[in-house]
Amino acid sequence: MRKLRVEEMNRLTVDEFKESDKFPYVIILDNIRSLNNIGSFFRTADAFRAQKIILCGYTQQPPHREITRSALGAELSVQWEKAEIATDAVRNLQAEGYQVLAVEQVEGSTELQKFIFEPEKRYAFVFGNEVEGVSDEVMMQVDGCVEIPQFGTKHSFNVSVSAGIILWEFVRKMIT
């Protein structure tokens, strides 16, 4: 086997990406502290054509050298906005018709593989702080919660790893 060169991968340009159809979801980052994680979210949002990322609370925003280092330029292609208060972002998206889902381990959550994504709906996924998770205030507002099943000794994934798993499963179900 031979690895493909970048030119052979038929990737979109930044302008083509901005004009392209996106999958019907938004990412909400609720007080993410790691700049590397923020950059990883941008890269994943680009790979899975998110509509936008909403950076809430003390989540830093581009331009920032540490975000760019892990985003590899995806902060230039993915639309983003800053919202000081995550509950305001949730409320606004719900008013626009989005179903807002926290990615969290809580009573009554739905395991990711069992969650039925409806193609006619729009979704927003809330990812929380690396230590505290999604804030209690946001948890009281969301429409539901999805959880990634785990089978080892640890109780969580890195938040940006969780994003890759959640968003791939969402997009996979949208394209099949």
Would you list the DSSP string of 51-69?
A: SEEEEETT---SS-HHHHH
Q: Range of 168's domain? A: 6-175
**Residue 30 in domain:** yes
What is the reported pLDDT for 18?
95
Q: What is the pLDDT along the chain (176 residues), one digit of tens a residue?
A: 999 998 899 899 999 999 999 999 999 999 999 999 999 999 999 999 999 999 999 999 999 999 999 999 999 999 999 999 999 999 999 999 999 999 999 999 999 999 999 999 999 999 999 999 999 999 999 999 999 999 999 989 999 999 999 999 999 999 98
**Residue 148 in domain:** yes
Number of domains in the chain: 1
DSSP-assigned beta bridge partners for residue 98: 122
What global pTM score does this model have? Answer: 0.96
**Residue 126 in domain:** yes
**Residue 1 in domain:** no
Please give the structure tokens belonging to residue 42. Answer: 């941008």
**Residue 160 in domain:** yes
CATH number for position 120: 3.40.1280.10
CB 116 within 8 A of CB 91: no
